[in-house]
Structure 1
Amino acid sequence: MKRQRGHKARLGLTPVQLWKIEDQGHAARAMWNLIHDLWTMTPKCQRSLSRMDTEIRRARKEIDWLAKLPAQAAQQVLKTYMRAWVNCWEGRAEAPTFKARFRTRAAIDIPQGRDLRIKRLTHRWGQVWVPMVGLVRFRWTKDLPGVTKGSHPGRVTGARLVKDALGWHIVFRTETLVDDPTPHQGPGVGIDVGVTRPLALSDGTFRDHDAWLTPKEAERLRRLERTRERQKQYRKPGERTSNRLARTNRLIAGYRARAKRRTLDWQHKTTTGIADTFGVVGVEALKITNMVKSAKGTVEEPGKNVRQKAGLNRSISGEAWGRTVTLLEYKLADRGGHLVKVPAPNTSKRCHACGFITEGNRESQAVFVCKNETCGWSGNADTNGSCNIETATKHQAPEDIAGVRTWSLSQWAGPEASTAHPVAL
Structure 2
Amino acid sequence: MSEDTLVKRQFGHRARLSLSRSEVLKTDGQAHAARTMWNLLHAWWRMMPKEERTLANADAAIRQAREDIDFLAVLPAQAAQAVLKTYFQAWKNCWDGRADTPNFKGRFRTVMSVDIPQGRDLNITRVHRRWGMANIPKVGRVRFRWTKDLPVGRHANAENRITGARLTKDALGWHIAFRVQTLQAKPEPHQGPEVGIDVGVTVPIALSDGETYEHGEWLTEREQAKLLHLEQRAAQRKRHRKPGEPTSRRLQHTYDQIAGLRAKAKRRALDWQHRTTTAIARRYGTVVVEALTITNMVKSARGTNEEPGRNVAQKSGLNRSISGEAWGRAVTMLTYKTAQRGGALHKVPAPNTSRRCSACGFITPGSRESQAVFVCKNPDCGWSGNADWNAARNVLHLYRMGHALIPAAGRAVVRRAKRVKPAAAR
Q: Given the two structures, how large is their TM-score scaled by the length of structure 2?
A: 0.91
Q: Are 2:149 and 1:143 aligned? A: yes
Partners of 1:191 and 1:283 within 8 A in 2? yes
Partners of 1:88 and 1:94 within 8 A in 2? yes
Cα distance, 1:40–1:372 mapped onto 2, change above 3 Å? farther
* Alignment of structure 1 residues 366-405 onto 2, 5 Å: 366-394=372-400, 395-396=402-403
Provide Cα deviations, 1:241-298, integer angstroms capped at 9, x if missing partner: 2121111111111111110111011111111110111000000111111211212122
Cα distance, 1:249–1:151 mapped onto 2, change above 3 Å? farther
- The counterpart of 1:361, out of the listed 341, 351, 367, is 367
Provide Cα deviations, 1:100-119, integer angstroms capped at 9, x if missing partner: 11121100000011111111
Partners of 2:151 and 2:161 within 8 A in 1? yes
Cα distance, 1:259–1:152 mapped onto 2, change above 3 Å? farther
- The counterpart of 1:200, out of the listed 206, 211, 220, is 206
- The counterpart of 1:339, out of the listed 341, 345, 349, is 345
The residue identity in structure 2 corresponding to 1:201 is L
Q: Which residue of 2 aligns with 1:253?
A: 259
Counterpart Cα distance in 2 of 1:289 and 1:190 = 22
* Alignment of structure 1 residues 204-223 onto 2, 5 Å: 204-223=210-229
Query: Among the aligned pairs, what percent are the same residue?
Result: 62
Q: Which residue of 2 aligns with 1:100?
A: 106
Partners of 1:152 and 1:177 within 8 A in 2? no
The residue identity in structure 1 corresponding to 2:277 is T
- The counterpart of 1:286, out of the listed 286, 292, 297, is 292
* Alignment of structure 1 residues 99-248 onto 2, 5 Å: 99-147=105-153, 149=155, 154-248=160-254
Q: Are 2:65 and 1:52 aligned? A: no
Counterpart Cα distance in 2 of 1:390 and 1:111 = 43
Q: Which residue of 1 aligns with 2:310?
A: 304
Q: Which residue of 1 aligns with 2:3?
A: none
In the TM superposition, residue 398 of structure 1 has moved relative to its aligned partner by 9.7
Partners of 1:146 and 1:153 within 8 A in 2? no
Counterpart Cα distance in 1 of 2:327 and 2:62 = 40
In the TM superposition, residue 306 of structure 1 has moved relative to its aligned partner by 1.4
Is 236-245 or 129-138 further displaced after alignment?
A: 236-245
Provide Cα deviations, 1:320-367, integer angstroms capped at 9, x if missing partner: 111111111111001000000111111112111111123432112222
Q: Secondary structure at the match of 1:360?
A: coil
Cα distance, 1:151–1:224 mapped onto 2, change above 3 Å? farther
Counterpart Cα distance in 2 of 1:301 and 1:42 = 45
Counterpart Cα distance in 2 of 1:259 and 1:207 = 18
In the TM superposition, residue 77 of structure 1 has moved relative to its aligned partner by 1.1
Is 281-290 or 121-130 further displaced after alignment?
A: 121-130
In the TM superposition, residue 49 of structure 1 has moved relative to its aligned partner by 2.5
Provide Cα deviations, 1:122-175, integer angstroms capped at 9, x if missing partner: 222221111111222212222101337599961000000100111111111101
Counterpart Cα distance in 1 of 2:115 and 2:51 = 30
Counterpart Cα distance in 1 of 2:419 and 2:339 = 21
The residue identity in structure 2 corresponding to 1:166 is L
Partners of 1:285 and 1:343 within 8 A in 2? yes
Q: Which residue of 1 aligns with 2:68?
A: 62
Q: Which residue of 1 aligns with 2:96?
A: 90
The residue identity in structure 1 corresponding to 2:53 is R
Partners of 1:144 and 1:151 within 8 A in 2? no
Partners of 2:190 and 2:285 within 8 A in 1? yes
Provide Cα deviations, 1:157-199, integer angstroms capped at 9, x if missing partner: 0000100111111111101111000000000000000000000
Q: Secondary structure at the match of 1:257?
A: helix
Q: Secondary structure at the match of 1:65?
A: helix
Q: Which residue of 2 aligns with 1:11?
A: 17
The residue identity in structure 2 corresponding to 1:280 is T
Cα distance, 1:396–1:147 mapped onto 2, change above 3 Å? farther
Provide Cα deviations, 1:187-214, integer angstroms capped at 9, x if missing partner: 0000000000000100011111111111
Q: Secondary structure at the match of 2:110?
A: coil
Q: Secondary structure at the match of 1:266?
A: helix
Is 147-156 or 315-324 further displaced after alignment?
A: 147-156
Counterpart Cα distance in 1 of 2:278 and 2:157 = 21
Q: Which residue of 2 aligns with 1:423?
A: none
The residue identity in structure 1 corresponding to 2:361 is G
Q: Are 2:275 and 1:269 aligned? A: yes
- The counterpart of 1:20, out of the listed 18, 26, 29, is 26
Counterpart Cα distance in 2 of 1:368 and 1:127 = 55
Q: Are 2:326 and 1:329 aligned? A: no
Partners of 1:145 and 1:153 within 8 A in 2? no
The residue identity in structure 2 corresponding to 1:139 is R
Is 194-203 or 359-368 further displaced after alignment?
A: 359-368
Counterpart Cα distance in 1 of 2:356 and 2:311 = 27
Q: Given the two structures, how large is their TM-score scaled by the length of structure 1?
A: 0.91
The residue identity in structure 2 corresponding to 1:7 is H
Counterpart Cα distance in 1 of 2:148 and 2:182 = 14
Partners of 1:143 and 1:151 within 8 A in 2? no
Matched residue count = 410
Stretches of structure 2 that go unaligned for 5 or more consecutive residues are 1-6, 407-416
The residue identity in structure 2 corresponding to 1:48 is T
